[in-house]
Copies of this chain bind each other. A is one copy, B any other.
Amino acid sequence: MRSDIEIAQACEMKHIKDIAAVAGVDEDYLEYYGKYKAKIDLKLLADREGRPDGKLVLVTAINPTPAGEGKTTTTVGLADGMRRLGKNTVVALREPSLGPVFGVKGGAAGGGYAQVVPMEDINLHFTGDFHAIGAANNLLAAMLDNHIQQGNALDIDVKHITWKRCVDMNDRQLRNVIDGLGGRMQGVPREDGFDITVASEIMAVLCLSNGLMDLKARLGRMVVAYTRSGAPVTAHDLKAEGAMAALLKDAIKPNLVQTLEGTPAFIHGGPFANIAHGCNSVMATRVAMKMGDYAITEAGFGADLGAEKFLDIKCRLAGLTPSAVVVVATVRALKHHGGVTKAELGSENLEALEKGLPNLLRHVENITTVYGLPCVVAINRFPTDTEAELRLVEDKCKALGVNVALSEVWAKGGEGGMALAREVIRLCEEPNHFSFAYDLEGSIEDKLAAIVKKVYHGDGVVLTPAAKKQAAELTALGFGGLPICMAKTQYSFSDDQTLLGAPEGFTVTVRNLKVSAGAGFLVALTGDIMTMPGLPKVPAAEKVDVDENGRISGLF
């Protein structure tokens, strides 16, 4: 069996101008990065203003398990399947982060015969977007500390600085640091820390921006610290947003690549799916909808976090209405939700499978009843799945009136995605009653309660005394009307990662509330969220190599 990188490197890629031509886009709109990558000029949006938008399809999943779900793989294969059915389809995915590539993961651009290429480039520097975000993030940090060093005219409280530096690397050594040491000419000693670049608010800002001027305005609104009297200090107060926007002027342009089967694919933006909203950029989604008759996109983690944020944050902000939602599940992951340990997932176990199904069904119910959207389950087939197991899932879904399709894109590419594609095309013509899980007008507590009750199916939300105080302060500062970005474990509907399946009778505790004023949401933290990963005992980096022809190996 060939590895992902072997399959990817065997692909005879087309020149990216020929990929753009698939969707009728002239090469004048392209800014090449080599032959197989291009940034697309945002003027395409204005030039095609009169063209009806393509239909937007979201691919989401059950709660993730160690068994893997294959959401990106399904997204890519579905698009290839739709193209085989003659539909003008464009993919919009998130950019992988460099850090995890060298940690455990090794790469992230789909898998098997449903990948985007050139996968090595996509997994390494790609078109430099993440580096640009890191530079803008660290310029702001340097200007902030320099402001304090040069006299602190804004009266910034050095014990209340919320802006961190970042690197796009899994580097636990930088989680907690004391910097500014070495004497009075070397900065101001203070506690500090680094996040991985994708956790920077600038990543979320870039992904939610509606253009370069909106990006600049959002950058200016970002809160970086508080004064000694408790007033927020913004990037605009530090006169930093112009230089940051200059650093990001190309990063905001979506990156066009191709699937193994030559379907146009945007890969652009990749914010954290917990402290941020976990979706690719609004600009890429909008361009994909102006290029394709169908735009297929994905969201992070399971549907309780990923789809919720995609719908309640991104779609609300950008004025998007999805036409259909795909919920990806695997037999292995459902068995895990039914109580099977990772080691035993390879054996047939119909009882556990049936016990795990409610996790899937609850996500589907949320999509159809809470959000009012047409929905289909994609069973992403693994080699170890038995016919009896696949039939069980299919039969149960059908008995409950849930749309379901087998997806074999990992093994067969677009051909294995045609059954799912047919379902999606059909669903896109069905009635659509899209609505949000909560209104922006309610209090912060109201909004939290709506998410917990309607989406998680819990009894309610509890705010710690600290979080209550923060909610009052944020409301007083005028941030009460923002949508909520939940930071919760992805493994369970609840805030307890051991409650698998479809738990009931729980409450969710919010311990911390903070504002991402540039991105335009409030982050509700239900526990400690790691914003700087570490490397494992044997980092994937040890296996990565490049030969004299520049061919990379060891990504997988």
The chain A residues found within 8 Å of chain B, CB to CB, are 31-35, 98, 102, 120, 124-125, 128, 131-132, 134-135, 138-139, 141-143, 145-146, 149-150, 165, 167-182, 185-188, 192, 211-213, 216, 239-240, 242-243, 245-247, 249-250, 534-535, 537, 539, 541-546, 548, 550, 552, 554
Contacts and interface: CB of A to CB of B under 8 A. Distances in A.
Copies, count:
2
22 contacts: A31-B34, A32-B32, A32-B35, A33-B33, A102-B243, A124-B247, A125-B128, A125-B250, A128-B128, A138-B167, A141-B171, A142-B171, A145-B171, A145-B172, A146-B172, A173-B187, A175-B181, A177-B180, A178-B178, A242-B541, A246-B546, A246-B554
A546 B242 contact: yes
Contact of A181 (B98, B168, B176, B550): B176
A216 B175 contact: no
Contact of A125 (B239, B247, B537, B548): B247
A234 to B, nearest CB: 14
A181 to B, nearest CB: 4
A534 to B, nearest CB: 7
Contact of A173 (B132, B142, B172): B142
B535 A143 contact: yes
A239 B176 CA distance: 26
A216 to B, nearest CB: 7
A545 B34 CA distance: 28
Contacts of A212: 546, 548, 550
A239 B542 CA distance: 5
A349 to B, nearest CB: 35
Contacts of A185: 172
B150 A173 contact: no
Which 4 residue pairs of A and B lie closest in terms of their CB atoms, listed nearest first? A242-B545, A131-B131, A176-B182, A173-B187
A186 B179 contact: no
A537 B239 CA distance: 13
Contacts of A177: 177-181, 192
B169 A242 contact: no
Contacts of A124: 246-247
